């Protein structure tokens, strides 16, 4: 699955829990790919999901994953419509908020997305 494929899948879903599961599925599949093939999973500019939160999340994933793999961050990830004007906590529980404010990776924080420790780990 590419990020462009992920965007199509997210667009077809209405329930956030289902969307989060699909994002985690992408992260897991991405981790199975050899590093030299991962750039192609991130490079194509995804179409809009219809939800600015998930458009920003996809860009954050692209930047975060590329940075940690030492590959070029796609230019589309820095487009203005990939940043939120209002903060978003995908898991909005008081017990998660503090952790998310402190530990959210930079690629997410700069876009106004706050995720807790282990949020990208698949259970």
Q: Which two tokens stand for residue 67?
A: 């940075």
pLDDT of 123 over the 50 cut: no
- State pLDDT tens for residues 24-79: 999 999 999 999 999 999 999 999 999 999 999 999 999 999 999 999 999 999 99
- The mean pLDDT of 84-103, rounded to a whole number, is 93
Angle at CA of residue 21, ends 73 and 67, nearest 5°: 15
Q: Which two tokens stand for residue 21?
A: 């599961």
Domain residue ranges of the chain, discontinuous segments joined by +: 3-81
User: Chain-wide mean pLDDT for the chain?
Assistant: 95
Kindly list the distances between the CA atom of residue 75 and the CA atoms of 35, 109, 117, in Å, as whole numbers in the listed order.
19, 18, 27
pTM score over 0.85: yes
């Amino acid at each position: 699955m590419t990020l462009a494929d992920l965007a199509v899948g997210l667009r077809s879903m209405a329930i956030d829990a289902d969307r989060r599961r699909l994002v985690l599925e992408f992260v897991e599949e991405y981790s199975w790919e050899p590093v030299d093939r991962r750039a192609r999973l991130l490079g194509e500019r995804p179409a809009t999901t219809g939800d600015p939160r998930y458009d920003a999340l996809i860009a954050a994933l692209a930047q975060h994953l590329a940075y940690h793999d030492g590959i070029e961050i796609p230019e589309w990830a820095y487009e203005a419509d990939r940043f939120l004007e209002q903060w978003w906590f995908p898991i909005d529980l008081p017990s998660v908020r503090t952790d998310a404010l402190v530990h959210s990776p930079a690629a997410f924080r700069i876009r106004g997305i706050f995720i807790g420790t282990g949020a990208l780990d698949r259970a």
